Amino acid sequence: MIGADINAIAEQLKNYDGEEVRIMEVCGTHTASISENGIPSMLSPKIKLISGPGCPVCVTVTAVIDKLVELSMREDTVVLTFGDLIRVKGTNKSLADAKADGAHVKMVYSPMETVTMAEKDPDHTYVFAAIGFETTAPVYANVLNEAVNKGLDNVKLLTSLKTMPQVIRWVVNNGGGIDGFIAPGHVAAITGSDIFKALSEELGLPFVVSGFEGEQLLLTIYALLRMKGNKGIKNLYKSVVTSEGNIKAKEMVDKYFEPSDASWRGMGKIQGSGLVLRKEYEKFDAGSRDLDEDHMPPGCSCASVLVGKIKPSDCPMFGKMCTPDNAHGACMVSTEGSCYNYFVSGRK
């Protein structure tokens, strides 16, 4: 369909005048790409795009941040993290605040830097803030594999790893009012598209696996529009996603991690929606279990935004007390957050 047909499809999406359709993307990169490509402005007002809980930083509870802050203040410990997480506030402070107070916090670009630093500096324990979904779990498994192979005891992970199918079920069962899902392309590249088959059958809703280019997203929305009211799954990202996924990556994850219950910001604990280190590798765990407490900042509506109950612009703090330069909640901190992307793209 890409090519001559894309203009006709774009025209149909712009002029659609049927029943309202609510489509949720559950991938932070999709959220960012939708904004960057101006997709909402190309659609009929009857087609609503809803940003779901697909930003790993946004769904991380404050107990995880608090634990990282605590670890960073130890003399013999260095906390490593990606850039987005460093600005997310815990109960009292963020990792950036802790660093300003003299804590040991370093921003890195690759989790594998944990192994390099630990190998060069055996007198300190290096803790990586392992936040993410199925997409990044293989990377963290590789970090552990390297640490095991090199005999490093000063590498640890503080994990807050989530898995997609269970939270999608939660959103649907808790009043999301969603008619179809743009399935996360990066996640599906690891898990395979078949992971959404049973969920589609159970929920009676369509799923379309999408890439991240503007044309691919338009085709995905068009496919979901045509599938409205029916279950089923389509894979429109076949250059990257197969039905079975990345077998080697899944085997590596299974070697080091096992399923667990997990706490999601604004949603509480969702059964079977997380990954934790297996018992035999507990010595690499920096204290990840039972980090459930979540203290939303006063006035923050992230909990409602994450499950599609309100738009970011409906939050009374949006664009006023809460902006990317002065972020109040995690959804405005992360570049994959729905509030951030609404703000920078001027969406209403």
For the stretch 107-163, pLDDT in tens is: 999 999 999 999 999 999 999 999 999 999 999 999 999 999 999 999 999 999 999
The H or E element containing residue 114 is helix 113-120
pLDDT value of residue 3: 44
Contacts of 26 (CB under 8 A, 6+ apart): 52, 53, 54, 164, 167, 168, 181, 182, 183, 184
CA-nearest of 203, 204, 225, 183 to 20 is: 225
Q: What is the mean pLDDT of residues 23-47?
A: 95
DSSP letters along 174-233, please? TT---SEEEE-HHHHHHH-GGGGHHHHHHHT-EEEE--SSHHHHHHHHHHHHHHTT--EE
Residue 175's Cβ-side half-sphere holds a number of Cα atoms within 13 Å equal to: 5
Percentage with pLDDT > 70 across the chain: 99
Q: What is the mean pLDDT of residues 25-47?
A: 95
Helix/strand/coil for 64: helix
Q: Please report the beta strands in 82-124, taking only residues with DSSP state E, as ranges in sequence order.
A: 105-107
In whole angstroms, give the CA distance from residue 94 to residue 126. 18
Ramachandran class of 256: left when φ > 0, alpha when ψ lies in -120 to 50, beta otherwise: alpha
Q: What is the DSSP letter of 109?
A: S
Q: Look at residue 74 and tell me whether its pLDDT is greater than 70.
A: yes
Q: Look at residue 5 and tell me whether its pLDDT is greater than 70.
A: yes
Q: Domains along the chain?
A: 4-51+164-235 (3.40.50.11750), 62-163+245-284 (3.40.50.11740), 302-345 (no CATH)
Q: What is the mean pLDDT of residues 254-259?
A: 98
Euclidean distance between the first and the last CA atom of the chain, given in angstroms as a whole number:
31
pLDDT band of residue 186 (cuts 50, 70, 90) is very high
pLDDT value of residue 1: 40
What's the whole-number average pLDDT of the chain?
A: 94
Q: What is the DSSP letter of 298?
A: T
pLDDT band of residue 176 (cuts 50, 70, 90) is low
Q: Give pTM, 2 decimals.
A: 0.92
CB 53, CB 262: distance < 8 Å: no
Contacts of 39 (CB under 8 A, 6+ apart): 33, 49, 214, 217, 218, 221
CA-nearest of 56, 82, 55 to 68 is: 82
> Roughly what angle, to the nearest 10 degrees, separates helices 214-227 and 28-36?
110
Rg (CA), the chain: 20
Count Cβ atoms within 10 A of the Cβ of residue 331 and give its class: 0-12 exposed, 13-18 middle, 19 or more buried.
buried
